[in-house]
Amino acid sequence: MADLLIDDDGAVRILTMNRPEKRNALNLALSEALYDALREADSAADVRAIVLTGAGPAFCAGADLSEFAALSSANTALVERRADITANLHGVFSQLTKPVVTAINGAAMGGGAGLALAGDIAIMSATAKLGYPEVKHGIVASVVMANLVRQAGRKAAFELVAIGEPIEASRAVELGLVNRVVAPQMLMHEAMQSARAMAAVAPQAMAATKSLFYRVAELPFDKALEAGREMNQRMRAFRKDKP
């Protein structure tokens, strides 16, 4: 079976991490397949939105610890390759022109929590949990920290990475880490509803919205206003109702 399942439902591409026996842990093969699939979906003319979820009871358990033995100073090429794909994977979501909905069907831990939060919209099953347990394994929630501190308050984010205890879905939505929590049986329905709503938007407008959103999030207020003014001028070129 493929580590990643790819299905199209109209203009929505569904990516399903498919290592249920490993709780969809991110080995090198799955990480590279997911990165490539996200880039491919972004370049596909008939795809307007993406949904990411996991097969089986978990969303993603994070890094596959069984691969760590090979990541030593004796194998620097593999260490660099793994670090590169991890950083590229978690960074690519905001660079895509198409929106991504994460459907968090079960436990999302470590790198899996990073993927869950990387979606433009995150919808979580009421029975799922989210956490960063790396510190309990004597390592650091390193790459995923960049996204976490931008989405949660500093006190909450530090507690998550420093104590390593998972949080319930209700707490995740309180912290603003996910958009909403739904019953497990409604998860994919809600995720697809959100994806289809965004897929119905003119592609140029959606791409520009994503680009500006992530740009202004990192800019000082005056620079953000200037970026908005520039986009305000440019967007007239792709309005549906222009003469």
For the CA atoms of the chain, what is the radius of gyration? 18
**Is 134 among the catalytic positions?**
yes
**Tokens describing residue 6:** 């790819």
Q: Which residue has the tokens 């949904």?
A: 51
The single-letter code of the amino acid at 71 is: L
**CA neighbours closer than 13 Å in the CB half-sphere of residue 53:** 24
- Give the CA distances from residue 76 to residues 33, 71, 219, in Å, rounded to whole numbers and listed in that order: 22, 8, 36
**Tokens describing residue 127:** 């029975």
User: How many Å apart are CA 133 and CA 53, to the nearest integer?
Assistant: 20
User: CB within 8 A of 44, min separation 6: which ones?
Assistant: 13
Helix %, strand %, coil % of the chain (to 5): 55, 15, 30
3-class secondary structure, 7: strand
Single out the catalytic residue among 32, 40, 80, 134.
134
List alpha helices for the chain, DSSP H: 28-43, 76-92, 111-118, 145-151, 154-163, 169-174, 187-199, 203-216, 221-234
Would you please indicate which residues are annotated as catalytic (active-site) residues?
A: 134
